[in-house]
A and B are shown apart, each in its own frame.
Chain A
Amino acid sequence: MREGADEQVRQANMATLARAPGERLKALWSDAKLETEHKIVRGPETGLVTVRGRIGGGGSPFNVGEVTVTRATVKLAGGAVGHSYALGRDKEKSRIAALFDALWQDESLQPRLATEVIKPLARELEAADTQTKEQTAATRVDFFTMVRGED
């Protein structure tokens, strides 16, 4: 159970890092001074991932087209291995995200990683979503019925 919860958090972190603007992640990372020695096992390398939709929205899958994705894998001196995948071609962002994932496996570092990197990013992404939702909501049509005649 505990492992499942850990995996969920790790996956949520990856989602936040993947969506984060590269420049913002780099700034937070440099401020957090979490950079540490590591070996690059793979990448950072850019490739294609084919995006799938479903016929009619919920039917059989079909391929819509490709998207650029950059991934990296790093290994720390202690043996922890971290991975990252994200849309786009930002290699430095990919390296930092993989290093984050490797460091996250050291539980003593988690509070710092969460406070200094993940939480600010998540907060900013959430605020952007809220703005999109609220601006879209303002374009919602409120239908009303015109009543003509006496009764």
Chain B
Amino acid sequence: MYVAVKGGEAAIRNAHRLLADKRRGDRSVPALRLDQIVEQLALGVDRVMAEGSLYDRELAALAITQARGDMIEAVFLVRAFRTTLPRFGYTRAADTGAMLVERRISATYKDMPGGQLLGPTFDYTHRLLEPEIAAGLDPETPESREADDGAMPRVTDILAHEELIEEDGAVPQGKPVADISREALEFPLERDARLQALARGDEGFLLALAYSTQRGYARSHPFVGEIRIGEIDFELDVPELPFPVPLGRIQVTECQMVNQFKGSAKAPPQFTRGYGLVFGQSERKAMAMSLCDRALRTSELGEDIVAPAQDEEFVISHSDNVQATGFVEHLKLPHYVDFQAELDLVRRMRAEARQAATEHKEAAE
């Protein structure tokens, strides 16, 4: 039975008006502009783009402001906006080797072509709060040094010879590229569908799962083969032009995780790999993604499923924070009728239990 209950319109209207007022906060404090958020809270913006699965910095900044800094609410807003736009197509697959590199490190190779470039990193900072930032002082101009224009090949390509490390992953020939935003998930998934889900997955959830593999729940002996951050050109094939049309550049973070592997019935002993590719500068997310990708390749590599991080249906079904928050948060919406029905049921069950106890007692006497 469905019973519509009216009422609450005025309360909702006034609640939203109050929300808008609280969002603005103290009027004597200047209102934030979107460009301030894009420029100065850049990694928060990147996270909303990655998990919202929409690369558009200004929209992500608007979502963060509208959500009062609630990142999952902001991701939700971005996802909702996506559904209002028509689709123009799929880009050609990007070559991360041709990236304009802003950061590139390897924990496995000290000397590699192109070198180790730290870029704008939190690594090696002392994690001490810096009051001069609150004072709004301008930092020093960054140092510059002549750049050699040499190639910066992916570390995994340097390693590829000798078959000591497995090749870049392939899904079965002839299958169209999976698109989880167009088709419902059907387990088991191919790796392309899993990677798409992981790329938009919740950073906290994937981080915890990745950590669990390091603590022994599906240990994979990982090394960071390479992390690189930078901008890549993307091109789109369109019917009206005889060449792929350049769209501009997008910043991404790529992580190549290299894992020890003792071999199985399906694969020889060699280093296996997990892969992470995320919008923006999102190093932690890319690393967690690559660890989860490797853990989820259990069946492909003939390993036993012994830990949560290896359970594809568990990981992928719970990685999307918009779905997760929708289902958890819906519990606070009115369930008056549901609850009335449950209340009646419990009353009836108690009455029956009481009667059964009485009858039992009488029979015993």
Give CA–CA (A57, B53) in the complex, Å. Answer: 19
Query: With A65-B50, A132-B100 in contact, do A55 and B169 touch (Cβ < 8 Å)?
Result: yes
Indicate with 1 or 0, residue by residue over B70-112, a CB within 8 angstroms of chain A CB atoms: 0000000000001001111111111111001111000000110
User: Min CB distance, A78 to chain B, in Å?
Assistant: 18
Task: Let me know if A49 and B89 touch, CB within 8 A.
Answer: yes
Give CA–CA (A3, B54) in the complex, Å. Answer: 37
The one of A19, A55, A131, A134 in contact with B248, judged by C-beta atoms closer than 8 angstroms, is A19
Residues of chain A contacted by B148 (CB below 8 angstroms): 137
- B277 CB-CB contact with A under 8 Å: yes
Interface-facing stretch out of B177-185, B310-318, B327-335 = B177-185
Size category of the B interface is 35 or more
Number of A-B contacts (CB under 8 A): 232
Interface-facing stretch out of B2-10, B238-246, B356-364 = B238-246
CB closest residue in chain B, given A11: B243
The one of B142, B167, B246, B275 in contact with A11, judged by C-beta atoms closer than 8 angstroms, is B246
Indicate with 1 or 0, residue by residue over A65-92, a CB within 8 angstroms of chain B CB atoms: 1111101010000000001011111000
Task: Let me know if B145 and A68 touch, CB within 8 A.
Answer: no
Task: Let me know if B243 and A7 touch, CB within 8 A.
Answer: yes
User: Which of B181, B192, B193, B243 is the most central at the interface, judged by chain A CB atoms within 10 Å of its CB?
Assistant: B192
Task: Let me know if B245 and A64 touch, CB within 8 A.
Answer: no
Task: Let me know if B247 and A49 touch, CB within 8 A.
Answer: yes
Task: Let me know if B147 and A55 touch, CB within 8 A.
Answer: no
Interface residues in B166-211 (C-beta closer than 8 Å to A): 167-171, 177-181, 191-193, 195-196, 199-200
Query: With A45-B86, A62-B191, A143-B111 in contact, do A53 and B250 touch (Cβ < 8 Å)?
Result: no
Give CA–CA (A39, B56) in the complex, Å. Answer: 29
- A14 CB-CB contact with B under 8 Å: yes
Task: Let me know if B167 and A18 touch, CB within 8 A.
Answer: no
Task: Let me know if A19 and B196 touch, CB within 8 A.
Answer: no
Count A-side interface residues using an 8 Å CB cutoff: 55
Pull 20 A–B residue pairs with CB atoms less than 8 Å apart, ordered by A. A46-B85, A49-B90, A52-B90, A53-B94, A54-B96, A56-B256, A61-B177, A64-B277, A66-B53, A66-B54, A67-B54, A67-B234, A69-B88, A83-B241, A88-B248, A134-B147, A136-B147, A137-B117, A137-B145, A140-B116
Task: Let me know if B96 and A57 touch, CB within 8 A.
Answer: yes
Task: Let me know if B156 and A7 touch, CB within 8 A.
Answer: no
CB closest residue in chain A, given B166: A56
The one of A11, A88, A134 in contact with B145, judged by C-beta atoms closer than 8 angstroms, is A134
Task: Let me know if A132 and B102 touch, CB within 8 A.
Answer: yes
Query: With A57-B168, A64-B279, A65-B199 in contact, do A49 and B192 touch (Cβ < 8 Å)?
Result: no
- A127 CB-CB contact with B under 8 Å: no
Give CA–CA (A46, B84) in the complex, Å. Answer: 10
- A48 CB-CB contact with B under 8 Å: yes
- A135 CB-CB contact with B under 8 Å: yes
